[in-house]
Amino acid sequence: MTKRKANPFLGRWRIVWMEMWDQDFIDMEVPGHFTFEKDGQGNFQFGLVQGDMDYRVDGSRVEFSWIGNDEMDEASGRGCARIEHGELIGRIFFHRGDDSEFRAIKA
């Protein structure tokens, strides 16, 4: 039997910086976060943007697709991230829209 490698992305990651938005926007409703749960599911929220994620760990990276809302409008996209010196560093993309680099720390 092969032992599964622990998923280093599991848990809640607090967004501490985004390229496109300031911290006041990121934390507008709740502290901005990305949360990776077991079985490849997760969620995030920053500002008035929230989404449910379907993710896959590929070596030292995590890649995800997401669907949710940007204010009251339906939104979707994709993203990717890696852990570097204990920090989650990645980029989130909106389908046919903006994209932003982000940094987050384990909550």
Query: pLDDT tens digits for the chain (107 residues)?
Result: 556 678 999 999 999 999 999 999 999 999 999 999 999 999 999 999 999 999 999 989 999 999 999 999 999 999 999 999 999 999 999 999 999 999 999 99
| 68-71 contacts at long range (C-beta below 8 A, 24 or more positions apart) | 70/94
pLDDT at residue 48 in the model: 97
In this prediction the pTM is 0.93
